Structure 1
């Protein structure tokens, strides 16, 4: 239950960020040189990786905490 609530919110946030980044990139593509376009694409990918790592780290911490509480009950 906790996993579903947390991961759904984080996945939706990541999808929104990705969608916004893609839309921004498309808007800029018509005005950028190929080199600038490549740099923007690399930056977008780096930001997506950072967001994913942050989300996974948060999820791991929450799940570890939940697991510890479950172990204390038994």
Structure 2
């Protein structure tokens, strides 16, 4: 799960499966060892900084910031 600020400035949980990567992401390569380490940190501590997303459709969100956190969480 990840979280989303809604229009009332409240945090809302949304399933990661509903977040799609941003096609404009400038980074194309991600170090696997670094992602593994981040994944372990997320398992132990949770996501300390929520992902930033925007609504792309009624049921889907587009990632704005947090590509590494998203990949490490899957």
Q: Same fold (TM over 0.5)?
A: no
Q: Which has the higher contact order (CA 8 A, sep 6+)?
A: 1
Which protein has the bigger helix share? 1
Bigger strand fraction = 2
Q: TM-score, normalised by structure 2?
A: 0.22
TM-score scaled by structure 1? 0.22
